[in-house]
Amino acid sequence: MDSNTAARLIELNRDFYTRFGDSFSATRHRIQPGVRRVLEMLKGDESILDLGCGNGELARELAKRGHRGPYLGVDFSLPLLREAESPPVRTAQPEGFSGRFLQVDLTRLSAFSDQLSAAGQWSLVTAFAVLHHIPSHELRLDMLKSIRDLIKNDGLFIHSNWQFLNSEKLKARIQPWEAAAISNLDVDAGDYLLDWRGRGVGLRYVHHFNDEELNELAQASGFRISDTFQSDGMGGNLGLYQIWVPNSDKICKNQGANSF
């Protein structure tokens, strides 16, 4: 995928989450089963960087559980961040929970590294339902290498990706690329355009990952996959979750293209 097409897809999703952020948030007021499974793994004192924090539901749940480590949630959508920073989040914070939020364009994560590493490297980085909105192999790899730089050597990167092709209902929402004035010749294998039908009609770019593709990205960005499981949805297979651990030989994000 060339950079111009990637930029158009980024703008498509930016427009969607600006226009429909409030109505989208209204459908996201519960923690997915897969995320709950992840939360059960925590000791309660991890420093957590939550990429694509959305409306702050993860922060609310951590606060309810009495999480003691620092938390930073980042997202590019101002409507979602406004809700994340709303009084319910603040009042849910017991003594000892430290949560804050920041607007960040995740497609340019490396440009924000200084702001995100202010508290030191993170013991846990999460990206639930995020990576599938990042267009092009190059941008995904740049983001993942930045995460590797932000995470402790003994830390964890846990993410989930939407497996919408496992649902006939969701497959019916796939739209032709012409609906977004984009040629299907300009996008990559696994790229899809899905519609949104809540309080208006919108379009979103989504990538459908497979295990092989994620394994290649993990290796190229300095991680290895330690666990994979499926969860969420009626069939328990709408979310593909993976836990990545840093490789001992760290791959620098500034290495040339031939390094991977």
Q: Which residues contact 156 (CB under 8 A, 6 or more apart)?
A: 123, 124, 125, 243, 244, 245
Strand order in the sheet with 48-51: 98-103, 70-75, 48-51, 122-128, 151-162, 239-246, 223-231
Average per-residue pLDDT for the chain: 86
Residue 257 pLDDT grade (very low, low, confident, very high; cuts 50, 70, 90):
very low
pLDDT at res. 29: 55
Q: Find the farthest-apart pair of alpha carbons in the chain and give their distance in angstroms, rounded.
A: 54
pLDDT at res. 200: 62
Please give the share of the chain, as a percent, with pLDDT higher than 90. Answer: 63
Q: Are 232 and 238 in contact (CB under 8 A)?
A: yes
Q: Give residue 212's identity as a one-letter amino acid code.
A: E
Query: How far, in Å, CA of 97 to CA of 105, rounded?
Result: 25
Residue 253 pLDDT grade (very low, low, confident, very high; cuts 50, 70, 90):
very low
Query: How far, in Å, CA of 115 to CA of 23, rounded?
Result: 30
- Torsion, Cα of 39, 41, 44, 47 (10° steps): -80
Q: Tens of pLDDT along 141-164? A: 999 999 999 999 999 999 999 999
The full set of domains in the chain, from first to last, is 3-167+210-246 (3.40.50.150)
- The whole-model pTM stands at 0.86
Q: Tens of pLDDT along 179-230? A: 999 999 999 999 999 998 766 678 999 999 999 999 999 999 999 999 999 9
Mean pLDDT value across residues 89-117: 76
Residue 250 pLDDT grade (very low, low, confident, very high; cuts 50, 70, 90):
low
Of the CA atoms within 13 Å of residue 97, those in its CB half-sphere come to 19
The three-state secondary structure class of 249 is coil
